[in-house]
Structure 1
Amino acid sequence: MSLEVAVAAPFKTEARDRLGQGEFVVALSLEREWFSPDQAKRLVDVALGRGLLASEDGDLVPQFDPAEVTVPEGFTPDESVLREQSTFESALDAVVATGVEKQRAVAAINERQRALAITIEAAAVLYAREQGAAVDRLAADVREELAAEAGEDAAAAGETDDAAETSDDPEAA
């Protein structure tokens, strides 16, 4: 995966297990010339979002062993690594990494979504967990999204009820 290679490279070059964000950005933009500084900052955001990096005490810490990643000679990451994956795409990738064929996984996720009347993201995370994929971070994201939607729905319902109660029209109540 080229994102993992791009994230591992600065840690391998510096032979350190944590780097400041500035050091990381300089390594990717000025030293390796793979990205502009803004793109390198975007890469940090994507890597944090995908769980490849964690931010601890202002430093970036890889959540995998960079020493186990090979940076091929002449490697240059594609700019597509800067695109953030959706929760569905991330869960699907995790399922495929467990050995499930992608087409079969998509069909099973769609079936769960239909049968349980849940979002595609929730269905993907549920299926990924059933397949033994590590999707705890994605599950937390889905829970937050669902809670936020539930809060918005409750607030909207409350506004509708309040409007009906304060109306001068006796039929609106």
Structure 2
Amino acid sequence: MSLRVAVAAPFIQNGTTRLEEGEFVVALSLDRNWFSPDQAKRLIDVATQDGLLEHDGNDLVATFETSEVTIPEEFVPDDDMLTERSAFERVLDQLVAAGVEKHEAVGAVNALQNELGITIEAAAVVYARREGLEVDDIAPVARATITDTEAEES
């Protein structure tokens, strides 16, 4: 959830859902002093992978309602949000954002993984879809984990 807050901050600050990449970097590095410029660029990569940002020419476009995000006054993003997250972590974040308790989601995904004999990523996608979430952007990544696992077993 903190990734969503960090991504939303520059858009909220500027009252828009579209910013030039340089404006986004300046907002996070100079205005808020949360990241170095290189880290802010890395955040763009992670947020794009997670589907929170899209590139439109030189602009970045938020793919979610930034106006619905609240930035707590004491909020400071963690450096760990700059690391690439697994498909499981990305689905879990979406489930939690949709109101599913984290421990409930993890337990259900683990049970589904054992029941179906599939990877944790694939089980997370199946569970999310059963909960009515759109995870089409993550499904191919989960599918690849099944293919990779099958290839290793051959």
Instruction: Determine if the TM-score, normalized by the shorter chain, exceeds 0.5.
Output: yes
1:68-83 counterparts in 2 under 5 A? 68-83=68-83
Q: Displacement, 1:140?
A: 2.7
Paired position in structure 2 for 1:122: 122
Unaligned stretches of 5+ in structure 2?
A: none
Task: After superposing the two structures, state which structure 1 stretch, 129-138 or 80-89, moved more.
Answer: 80-89
Cα gap change, 1:79 to 1:140, in 2 (>3 Å):
same
Aligned to 2:11, the other structure's residue is in SS state helix
> Alignment partner of 2:61: what SS?
strand
Give the drift of 1:146: 4.1
For the residues of structure 2 that align with 1:132 and 1:17, how far apart are their CA atoms? Answer: 26
2:26 matched to which residue of 1? 26
- Normalising by the residue count of structure 2, what TM-score does the alignment of the two structures yield? 0.83
**CA RMSD, aligned part only?**
2.5
Residue 137 of structure 2 aligns to a residue whose secondary structure is: helix
- Structure 1 gaps of 5+ residues are 158-173
Contact persistence 1:10–1:27 (CA under 8 A): yes
Identity, in percent, stands at 56
User: CA–CA distance in 2 between the matches of 1:74 and 1:111?
Assistant: 37
Whether the 8 Å CA contact 2:118–2:146 is kept in 1: the answer is no
The corresponding residue for 1:103 is: 103
Give, in whole Å, the separation in 2 of the partners of 1:12 and 1:101. 27
Distance 1:23 1:110, change over 3 A: same
- TM-score normalised by L of structure 1: 0.75
Cα deviation code 1:56-106 (max 9, x no counterpart): 223210011222222333533222322332111222232334443333322
Question: Secondary structure at 1:137's aligned position in 2?
Answer: coil
TM-superposed deviation, 1:39: 0.9
The letter for the 1-side match of 2:100 is V
Question: Which letter does structure 2 place at the counterpart of 1:115?
Answer: E
